[in-house]
Amino acid sequence: MLSLALVVTAADALAGRADGVVRGAAVARSDATASAPTVASSPASTSAAAGALGEQSGPSSASTPLAPAKRASARLAPTLPSSATRARRPATPPPPALPPVGVTLQVLAPSVRGQWLLRLDNKGDAPALVSADVRLLRFEVRRWDAKKGQYASKGEVCDGPQVFGLSERAPFGRELVLEPGHSYVEAFDPRLLCFGKQAALLEPGMSVAATYGFAPQAQVPWRKVQAPEEPPFVADTARGPRDLSPIKRLAAEAFVLSDAPPAVFPALAERPARSAADADARPSSAEAASRTAPLVKPSPYQTPKDGLAAAMSLTTDRFADASSWRDVAFEVEAHNVGARPLWAALRARQLSFMVHSVSGEIYCPRVSQDHHIPRDMFEELQGGRHRHIGVTLSEPCGGSAFLRPGLYVVVPTLHADDNGAEYGISALTGTVTTRDPGAVGGTHLVDDDATLVRVRSGPQSFYTEAPRAIPTDEAQASSVPEPTSNPVTR
């Protein structure tokens, strides 16, 4: 116990002595600082003080001299140029703009009815590759605004590429090389594009702006250099190396529709009448058959001599739009155009159809001729009344009549064979057509005598022939219309 107490007392004495030494060194340092000149301290005094401190404080003072190392590292660090002095890289200049292909578009419309003409002319000095397909046409139709004294700023669009699925792809097999001074011409029915309710746009005084091809790429406003256009193109150069830029869409001068008589372009027609047996006379497209083939009507039902007696006539829907041959459907209306009631059996299977198609005239017979008609299928139709009969042509016509996309003209005929004598009924008998006289009722018109069918897709191609280029002077001669009396072109 005594030895332990002596050790503790010796440790306390040593600690007190060390504490006193430190305090004494601090007082001496402060005195030296107060007595030294304020300008600068001498190197000798600085080193002596540092040595004295090093002797008194021991090894802990060895880590204090860090400033020289910092200054050395600062001298070794690289000096980076500021953003103001940094050299800028020169901007890559955009490639020089090439002149466009020298192909122009014309659309001739002699009248609101009849044929119109599509014409592509190569007015450049290099051969051009074009897509020759009337389905690439697009019309923007504007009405006259009488209050503002100008045409409306926005019109209604008849978009052929959208209807026929050609908005983002070129039609297959319709590439044509136009040499300089050559043209492509094609007559067409404008109702191929302005179909159904849009056919009402084709009236006198309407302004039509026609374009041909595909929608251009959207421009990015904040880009100084826009991305190059991507295919498909409606016109491109046909020679290399490329020295002309391709064109996505051609535009024609706007024109105003007139009420001139219907016209056709006879220089482009092969023959006025066509039949399925005459293979050399087939039209170049499905809609061409509808405008060149005359309607062949069966013998009409004879109206009785009594002016008030019951009589029947047919009307049919003016338009039927179908995505494929399976979807061709519309309604036929049977009208009692007399003043007295009549009895009749009115069913879709009693209808036959004459289809004017790309293959000529196709006759679709009624489904059944010897089917027994029960009593409840006979109905009484009052004077001035009519009945709608829904029909789907895939049943009577099969799958061969509407395989090619385009326009078709369909004319129905009603075959009334059963008079209902076994039921004590005197029903109408005979053949009833859309040409029979009489004032029809409802919203139907007397001239609703044929249905214009548009088929948008099919297993066969729209054209039966490859496109053909002709000299421009020959195209000019072919662009002269002539009046026509073909009732299909109404």
**Residue 49 in domain:** no
Owning domain of residue 387: 286-461
Average pLDDT over residues 393-404: 86
**pLDDT at position 42:** 46
Range in 42-56, 108-122, 164-178, 398-412 the model is least confident about: 42-56
In a domain? residue 207: yes
Q: CA torsion 217→222→227→231, rounded to 10°?
A: -10
- As a whole number of angstroms, the distance between CA 411 and CA 409 comes to 7
**Over residues 15-28, mean pLDDT:** 47
- pLDDT, position 5: 46
Q: Are residues 108 and 176 in the same domain?
A: yes
Confidence band, pLDDT 50/70/90 cuts, at residue 274: very low
Kindly report, residue by residue over 262-272, the tens digit of the pLDDT. Answer: 888 876 654 33
User: What percent of the chain is modeled with pLDDT above 90?
Assistant: 32
Same domain? For 306 and 409 the reply is yes
Q: Which of 156-165, 227-236, 352-361, 373-382: highest mean pLDDT?
A: 156-165
Q: Are residues 259 and 292 in the same domain?
A: no
Does 301 map to a domain? yes
Three-state secondary structure call for residue 432: strand
Statement to judge: residues 290 and 262 lie in one domain: no
Task: Assess whether pLDDT exceeds 60 at residue 200.
Answer: yes
Instruction: Answer yes or no: is pLDDT of 125 > 90.
Output: yes
Question: For residue 139, what pLDDT is reported?
Answer: 97
Structure tokens at 191: 């109702």
Are residues 261 and 297 both part of a single domain? no
Find the range with the poorest average confidence among 68-72, 154-158, 224-228, 403-407: 68-72
Question: Are 480 and 449 in the same domain?
Answer: no
The CA–CA distances, whole Å, from 378 to 412, 420, 421, 425, 428 equal 20, 8, 11, 9, 10
Mean pLDDT, all residues of the chain: 75
* Of 333, 388, 129, nearest in space to 242 by CA: 129
Residue 128 lies inside a defined structural domain of this protein: yes
400 against 1, higher pLDDT = 400
Answer for the pair 436, 335: CB distance below 8 angstroms, yes or no. no
Q: Residues 308, 195: one domain?
A: no
Same domain, 195 and 341: no
Mean pLDDT (whole number) for 67-87: 54
Of 116-120, 166-170, 478-482, highest mean pLDDT? 116-120
Q: Is residue 15 part of a domain?
A: no
Question: Are 300 and 242 within one domain?
Answer: no
The residue that leads in pLDDT, 252 or 488, is 252
Q: Are residues 259 and 347 in the same domain?
A: no
- 457 and 478 part of one domain: no
- Are 186 and 133 in contact by the 8 Å Cβ rule? The answer is no
278 in a structural domain: no
The residue type at 366: R
Predicted TM-score (pTM) of the model is 0.67
Give the residue-averaged pLDDT of 26-46: 45
Residue 96 maps to a domain: no
The answer to which of 87-91, 94-98, 327-331 has the lowest mean pLDDT is: 87-91
Residues 211 and 321 in one domain: no
pLDDT at 414 over 70: yes
pLDDT at 285: 54
Cis peptide before 232 (omega within 30 of 0): yes
Q: What percent of the chain has pLDDT over 70?
A: 65
**Predicted confidence (pLDDT) at residue 249 exceeds the cutoff of 90:** yes
pLDDT at 338: 78
Domain count, the chain: 2
Structural contact between residues 383 and 341, judged by C-beta atoms closer than 8 angstroms = yes
Residue 63 lies in a domain: no
User: pLDDT tens for residues 361-390?
Assistant: 889 998 766 667 788 888 888 888 888 999
